[in-house]
Chains A and B, each alone.
Chain A
């Protein structure tokens, strides 16, 4: 086997092409850029989730305080103590609940709980994948 023969000399003239324009940028956008974008996007959702959690805690506290200050807790205790009331006097039960339960706070708590679940879901899906260290 002889080195640097006519084929070697001929193929030494083979053009070594440059990579296409913006190739490196394209690769970085597909790799490093994606991770950074995902990490960046996770932050607003994290803040939104914490906001929703704070709102849920506050409305929960206010709901409890409101029920304790009114007859609401007594009504609920009586209702859970005798669930048969729902079947025997449904109209009375609905009327009592609508009187004592602060529905605005309940709605606010529900909305903040739903938003919390949504925000947490986005934080988890957008956060960069954890990196394993090589052994």
Chain B
């Protein structure tokens, strides 16, 4: 029996054209939909998924645990207020980090009564490897934290996103509204600045 004859007997299976087929929901997307319906535990699942990387990002941006916790909490409160407006098919993490980043910048601005000049563009970069003695320092955590905090905001945020929140360059680009390549370039420059700041912490030999 030919295919043409078969087609006359068998019902044509219904298929959705790929252009209108909806993508499958991510786990976050499913939780957003459930949280809108006030499903118990759905919003808590969103908080538990994202709280640690968000908190670490804020902690490295702000340098103070209390401020970081406040900003992270405000970010989740904003998420809750915006549940109905969010697109559940879009990744949630970049949205959360964008909100947290803007709030961190607000806090930093409030702290600085006089706007600081961003002189990083004129700072000589450093590509020389760091000595091993730095890695062996007992106060390495303090040194690393202070090195990030000493960077201009645009570099501190990209370093915090990469090292503290462990985001990919694609995500960092989405958060900072940059192309992925531009995010890589900015990160490279941030690392050169970091290297210089870290070398400054070493005692003169």
Contacts and interface: CB of A to CB of B under 8 A. Distances in A.
A134 interface: yes
B72 A23 contact: yes
A82 B138 CA distance: 99
B51 A31 contact: no
Given A15-B141, A27-B47, A6 B130 contact: yes
Given A6-B129, A23-B73, A133-B84, A28 B191 contact: no
A132 B86 CA distance: 11
A27 B56 contact: no
Given A1-B188, A18-B52, A32-B43, A10 B84 contact: no
A69 interface: no
B175 interface: no
Interface stretch (B5-13, B14-22, B75-83, B100-108): B75-83
B88 A19 contact: no
B144 A10 contact: yes
Contacts of B191: 5, 7-8
A24 B43 CA distance: 10
B109 interface: no
Interface in A2-52: 5-20, 23-24, 26-28, 30-32, 35
Interface string B167-195: 00000000000000000110010010011
Contacts of A28: 43-44, 47
Nearest to B85: A134
A32 B135 contact: no
B164 interface: yes
Contact of A13 (B38, B135, B185): B135
Interface of B: 36, 38, 43-44, 47-48, 51-52, 55-56, 59, 65, 69, 72-73, 76-77, 80, 83-88, 129-130, 134-135, 140-141, 144-145, 159, 163-164, 166, 184-185, 188, 191, 194-195, 198
23 contacts: A5-B129, A6-B129, A13-B141, A14-B141, A15-B141, A16-B164, A16-B166, A19-B51, A19-B55, A19-B72, A23-B55, A23-B72, A24-B44, A24-B47, A30-B73, A30-B76, A32-B38, A35-B38, A131-B36, A131-B84, A133-B36, A134-B84, A134-B86
Given A10-B144, A20-B65, A23-B55, 17 more contacts: A1-B184, A5-B191, A6-B129, A7-B194, A7-B195, A10-B198, A13-B140, A14-B141, A14-B144, A19-B52, A19-B69, A27-B47, A28-B43, A31-B77, A133-B84, A134-B36, A134-B84
